[in-house]
Amino acid sequence: MLEDALEAYGEESGLLVNEQKTKALALGSWSTSTPIKFSYVEQVKVLGVLFTKTVTGMPAVNWPSRLYALRTALADARLRALNVIQRVHYANTYALAALWHCAMVVPMPVGVAKDARKALSKFIWAGEPLRVPMDVLVQPPQRGGLGLHDPELKAKAMFVARWTSASRAEESTLSGGWLAILNELYGDAATVPPAARHFSVIQSTAKELDIPDDIVGKVLNRAILRAMLANRMVAPRVQLHRPTAAWDTIWTRISLKALPLRARAAWYCAVHDVLPTNARLKATNQTDCAACPVCGADDTVLHRLTACQAESKAIWEWTARNLASLLNCTATSIVPDVIVVPDFAAPSKAASEAASWLLGTVVLYLVECSTHDLAKLKASILQQRQLVTCPKLRNIINSFS
């Protein structure tokens, strides 16, 4: 019967089966004792994805190699001098790409998602003792994250979007047909048998989210991912400690596009309080003393950036004067805390951006230089402002004195 069907198809299409290269995969209950002229195999690769006799066997033969590819890509860049934002960009655009093709066909197991997140965290923080949690990093910048792709959520969104789009296609498709059958069999079932594990992912996601019914493809993929992220929104630790601050505004300011990536990364870590100060290390049981090794005061981020060294105080006074001129207030009314909680009131959007640029650039200098010097800070400001492309913003920055 099989040979007859292939022969009939070949006569109509003009195509011939290469018997030397053709293998047979016995799906489901098909017995390998059934005589055919092709040799039976346990698995077959189609467009990069391994298919096995049963659906339940596909994750085990596909995902270990994908996880290995992710780890290899991350290991290749582990010694590169990248800041936290650049590492997130590298992970999103290159390393994680090894997962997505398989994710559209085979649901990602929980264990693989957990291992992928561990590998990402280890790479992004490069041995740093203090870290922003992964559940925060995967949030968009407007919520205090860096937009890191969450392996579990993105894989699920891609899988569900693909099958849902197939079921909504104007022309009938094989995938859409199978989904219709599975809906008939298990649409209202409380539990789904292991053989229909793929369908259970779609079913559980549909119950968890209100999936739009008028879009397909990549747009649907993004909509599902946004909804899942919103359902798992985790507030950053610093946001819980300062609940009255205008955090929506703060997160927007520290991700200002006019700031160089290095400045954004340094300011991001300072605002999230993950710089390795003794106060934070003691709070996380990584040291026994919270005192500053230079002056003996409590070694917080704010102390280290604005108060420890004599030049740190001079730098802060210079920064406060320039902020005051931008915000139409007195220098004495601006407190050092604005460096790590920049929720200041600005008279205009231009003034807000200029103030954010100034604070981010100052933080970059203070974080990268172990000894502080006002003259060197001014030289750094002069160097960084050459990179500003907005004429209006550059004119304001040129007024700093």
Residues 338-352 pLDDT 10s: 999 999 999 999 999
**Which run of H or E residues covers position 123?**
helix 110-125
Please give the angle made by the CA atoms of 177, 181 and 185, to the nearest 5 degrees: 165
Q: Is 149 found in the same domain as 66?
A: yes
Of the three residues 183, 204, 234, the one that is the final residue of a domain is: 234
Note whether 212 and 309 are same-domain residues: no
The answer to whether 236 and 138 are in contact (CB under 8 A) is: no
Least Cα distance to 151 among 195, 183, 119, 117 occurs for: 117
Per-range mean pLDDT, top range of 13-27, 131-145, 160-174? 131-145
The reply to whether 221 and 297 lie within a common domain is no
In tens, the pLDDT along 38-79 reads 888 888 888 888 888 888 888 899 999 999 999 999 999 998
Residue 46 within a domain: no
Same domain, 229 and 181: yes
Mean pLDDT, range 147-163, rounded to an integer:
92
- Give the pLDDT confidence of 232-241 residue by residue, as tens digits: 889 999 999 9
Report the alpha-carbon distance of residue 227 to residue 216 in Å, rounded: 15
Residues 317 and 358 placed together within one structural domain of the fold? yes
323 plus 346 within the same structural domain: yes
What is residue 171's predicted lDDT score, i.e. its pLDDT? Answer: 66
- Crossing angle, helix 349-368 and helix 310-327, to 10 degrees? 170
pTM for this prediction:
0.88
Q: What token pair was written down for 139?
A: 């949030």
Q: Quick count: other Cβ atoms within 10 Å of Cβ 392?
A: 12
The verdict on 277 and 312 lying in the same domain is yes
User: Which of 214, 234, 254 finishes a domain?
Assistant: 234
In this structure, are 24 and 103 located in the same domain?
no
Confirm whether 48 is domain-assigned: no
For position 178, what pLDDT does the model report?
75
Asked if 133 and 19 sit in the same domain, the reply is no
Q: Please indicate, yes or no, if residue 129 is contained in any of the structural domains.
A: yes
Question: Residue 3 pLDDT > 80, yes or no?
Answer: no
R_g over Cα of the chain: 28
Residue 26 binned pLDDT confidence (cut-offs 50, 70, 90)? confident
Q: Domain end: 209, 234, 259, which one?
A: 234
Tell me, yes or no, whether 47 lies in a domain: no
User: What pLDDT is recorded for position 199?
Assistant: 77
Range from 92-96, 293-297, 372-376 carrying the lowest mean pLDDT: 293-297
Number of domains in the chain: 3
Determine the Cα–Cα distance for residues 333 and 336; give it in Å rounded to an integer: 10
Amino acid 119: pLDDT: 97
Per-residue pLDDT, 166: 80
Domain for residue 87, yes or no? yes
Residue 114 placed within a domain = yes
Question: What pLDDT was estimated at residue 64?
Answer: 95
**DSSP SS3 for 264:** helix
Tokens of 18: 């290469």
User: What is the H or E stretch that residue 374 is in?
Assistant: helix 374-385
Name the burial class of residue 157, with classes exposed (0-12), middle (13-18) and buried (19+) by CB atoms within 10 angstroms of its CB: buried
Is residue 82 included in any domain, yes or no? Answer: yes
Lowest mean pLDDT among 34-48, 166-180, 315-329: 166-180
- Same domain as 254, residue 158: no
Mean pLDDT of 145-153: 95
Q: Are residues 348 and 244 in the same domain?
A: yes
Q: What is residue 361's predicted lDDT score, i.e. its pLDDT?
A: 94
User: Quick one: average pLDDT of 80-100?
Assistant: 95
The answer to whether residue 49 is domain-embedded is no
Q: Residues 310-317: what's their mean pLDDT?
A: 88
pLDDT at 189: 67
pLDDT band at 383 (very low <50, low <70, confident <90, very high): confident
Q: Which of 97-111, 125-139, 193-207, 261-275 has the lowest mean pLDDT?
A: 193-207
Banded pLDDT at 304 (limits 50, 70, 90)? confident
Q: Domain range for residue 13? A: 2-41
Confidence band of 373 (pLDDT split at 50, 70, 90):
confident
263 is written with which tokens? 């400045």
In this structure, the answer to whether residues 161 and 289 fall within a common structural domain is: no
